[in-house]
Amino acid sequence: MNYEVEQKFRVIHEAALLDQLEDLGICWRETVCQEDAYFNHPLRDFAETDEALRVRLDGSEAMFTYKGPRIDSTTKTRQELELQVANPGTDGNALKQFLLTLGFTYVHSVVKQRRKGMLSFQQQEVVVAFDEIQGLGKFVEFELVVAEDDLDSATALLTQLSASLGLGESITTGYLDMLLR
């Protein structure tokens, strides 16, 4: 079983952070607009169980994602299951309707401009996401997907990376929760 280990930080000094990431050799992809539509289970409240179910649309692809409860208080470490949707334009919206028909309720959408990149740090490929969230501002995320046996080393590696960039304490609250507060 794979786990997503993620650290997120509010961006305070954007130009300096981007320069530091460039100095570390980040390879950026183009910026995309993503809309994450979140749904709640008909028989249990995902806000109480710390789970998430979303449909992500970004124009070129659609992903159906389940995130389990967090297992770490310093990072957003959790089981993540993803399924790519074959035809994003048609099937992404059909998937939303499918969930509603099954009794899931729509909670809220998170709309963001996301620029992803890959960064090699201590011989590990780290996914970097530079996000501008509608209604919240700018954030940077660092992510590794690892097996359960590698959780501690992944957390340590991301902590070292964020410290080397002079970032403060990571934010463990998700964008959805921030928007709903």
Superfamily for domain range 2-180: Hypothetical Protein Pfu-838710-001 (2.40.320.10)
Confidence (pLDDT) at 88: 63
* Tokens standing for residue 164: 């080397």
For residues 9 and 17, what is the distance between their CA atoms, to the nearest angstrom?
Answer: 11
> How high is the pLDDT of residue 59?
74
**pLDDT, position 60:** 77
pLDDT at 1: 82
Token couple for 2: 């794979």
Q: Are 11 and 162 in contact (CB under 8 A)?
A: no
Residue closest to 162 by CA, chosen among 119, 102, 101, 99: 119
Distance CA 143, CA 125 (A): 9
Per-residue pLDDT of the chain (181 residues; tens, 9 = 90+): 889 999 999 999 999 999 999 999 999 999 999 999 999 999 999 999 999 999 999 877 889 999 999 998 888 899 999 999 877 666 778 889 999 999 999 999 999 999 999 999 999 999 999 999 999 999 999 999 999 999 999 999 999 999 999 998 899 999 999 999 8
Spell 122-131 as b/e; 16+ CB within 10 A means b: eeeebebbbb
- The residues spanned by each domain of the chain are 2-180
Can you give the pTM of this predicted structure? 0.91
Output DSSP code: residue 50.
Answer: T
What's the confidence (pLDDT) of residue 64? 92
Question: In whole angstroms, what is the distance from residue 145 CA to residue 39 CA?
Answer: 23
